[in-house]
Amino acid sequence: MSGRLLGTLRASHAGLCAAGTGPVEQVERCLRALGSAPDPTVWISVVDPSLLRAQAAAQEAALAGDPGLKAKLPLAGSLFAVKDNIDVAGMPTTVGCPAFAYTPERSAAVVERLQAAGALLVGKTNLDQFATGLVGTRSPFGVPCNAFNPEIISGGSSSGSAVAVARGHVHFALGTDTAGSGRVPAGLNNLVGLKPSRGLVSNRGVFPACRSLDCVSILALTVGDALTVLGVLRAFDAEDPGSRRLELAPDTVGANFRFARPRPGQLEFFGDEQARACFERDLALLRELGGEELEIDFQPFLTAAALLYEGPWVAERMAAIDAFYREQGEHIHPVVRTIIGRAPEFSATALFQAEARLDTLRSQLQPLLGSFEALVVPTAPTIYRIDEVLAEPYATNRSLGYYTNFVNLLDLAALAVPCGFRADGVPAGVTLIGPAGSDLALAALGARLQARAAPPLGATGQAWSAAEATMASPRGDTVDVLVVGAHLLGQPLNGQLTERAGRILETTRTSANYRLYALAGTVPAKPGMVRDETAGAALEVELWRLPMSAYGSFVALIGSPLGIGRVELADGRWVQGFLCEAWALKGAREITHLGGWRAYLADISPEENP
């Protein structure tokens, strides 16, 4: 075991308290993999090994002394890295430019949350300078090689973060993603790249590329691992002006689902037939999972993508480094300097015109995006050798963004999923895209896709394990409500649920501790259910799921004598559900023996049930 690289978060946490698999062993594996001189093209700075060992030993001792601590620290024993545009207190933030470096006194919000959850920071990773690029070649610290082929680019701008995870040096890493900077390197290194909805994760303490578009991204070996990290990072942050109280959509994708793809004539692979073949292979996997394939017009997405580097958002990049550009521009990478130097070409008028164009596109696309569970595109349309990018840095970079540049401009969520390899041994995969707030729904589908493809884990040499597919189902911002009578499917008040995007989860039964009555004088007819542990029975009921934002207005419609309380189900679960005040049972007809409201309706005459 001592020679193994790090694996998944799930495996690490599962064996956290077992001998030889705790935080100390995880750190030793990492340090052995890094060696005495960590690859300088991947790691810009690393935590002192003695400090890392001390942190691991303290955590291991704490876990041994408190059996309940493991449940409180979802990331205990895990190791992570952050892209070097994310602040860590006491460590320089270079943003890939040594002359620009500064040392913050406070860590970024994301680092604080990860450490509070038990994760141990290993160091900071290389990037395309000022997070400007999708290629991973624009750094004075060197060019990180692809984890599978040293002649191939790693992708950027989160290049070092991707390679560190793929090589098994850390369990996960943070990058940033403005135009694809988390998804492209994930795709090229056989990783999951989760780009959250804008504002879902705090950007406080992250040096901006385009402040209005930036997202912290997660690079991990599996969708389950990425989702675990997102669960820790997700929080409204009053200190971040871009933070949003964003409600996440319902969490599951059914056995049969719809996915969209660009029309064949709008697909672009820049002559790379291996990439085209892999995309068709991955679409077939989705069909095997029960997906219905829809072809859509991709042009609105391409129109939005063109605005990123051909529109005024270049000026937002300049806004972040304006003084440094003017006073020490000679220290900026030549390619980055050329790109950002175009900022004066764009006026305030151009910005407002572009914003208006985006508003129109978002409005046009909204109904389309609601007609399927995910838009599916190649994560990268092709792959380049390092020498090809160095010879032509602009066109190659633009090509890599064909399927990524529009996502943040249109306020979408995205998840890059590894699906296997091309004929030349380079990874390939797809990206699932959905509206803001669809993060958990995309993850549910992405987890199924990764499990079906079953690629190995990064470049660690570890095979996919069926255990990785046992990811906990993500819940979303929802409330489950048990209904008993008039709100049942097909009954008069069911519309109060469906018009609030409620969906039925299951028809089930209560525990044998409830009595049911047909209340007198109610219109429409309603039952009243009360708990009675001495003379009750199991009753048929339905469990519905409502968005959290709709729950209040639903409950406001409930009038006396009915209300919402806690109801015990036959399998031992306790859920929120309809109960009745005892005073209303006077004059009511007991129907407990019939087993439920539907049975009662079937038992009475039409005259009794108008």
Tokens of 556: 């406001």
For residue 478, the surrounding DSSP H or E stretch is: strand 478-483
**527-531 vs 514-518, strand pairing mode:** antiparallel
Strands 257-262 and 291-296: parallel
Q: How many CB atoms lie within 10 A of CB 540?
A: 17
- DSSP sequence for 91-151: B-B-TT-GGG-B--SS--HHHHHHHHTT-EEEEEE--SGGG--SSS---TT--PBPSS-TT
> What sign does the CA torsion over 36, 41, 183, 215 have?
positive
Phi, psi of 440, deg, nearest 5 = -75, -35
The DSSP secondary-structure symbol of 29 reads: H
Distance CA 181, CA 185 (A): 7
Task: Spell out the residues 6+ positions from residue 285 whose beta carbon is closer than 8 angstroms to its own.
Answer: 419, 449, 452, 453
Angle between helices 223-233 and 439-453 (to 10 degrees): 160
DSSP assignment of 134-184? SSS---TT--PBPSS-TTBB--SSSHHHHHHHHTTSSSEEEEEESSSTTHH
Q: What are phi and psi of 296, to 5 degrees?
A: -125, 165
Cα–Cα dist 545/548, whole Å: 9
Rounded Cα distance, 374 and 75, in Å: 29
Phi, psi of 10 (to 5 degrees): -55, -50
End-to-end C-alpha distance for the chain, whole angstroms = 72
Q: What is the DSSP string of 519-570?
A: -TT-SS--EEEEE-TTT-B--EEEEEEEEHHHHHHHHHT--TTEEEEEEEBT
| C-alpha atoms less than 13 angstroms from C-alpha of 60 in its C-beta half-sphere | 20
Residue 202 contacts residue 243 (beta carbons within 8 Å): yes
Positions annotated as catalytic residues are 83, 157, 181
Q: Is beta strand 427-435 parallel, antiparallel or unpaired with respect to 172-177?
A: unpaired
Q: Which two tokens stand for residue 342?
A: 């175009």
Residues 291, 278: Cα–Cα separation, whole Å: 17
Report the DSSP pairing between strands 427-435 and 374-378: antiparallel
Measured CA to CA in angstroms, residue 358 lies from 179, 208, 505, 579 at distances of 15, 21, 37, 48
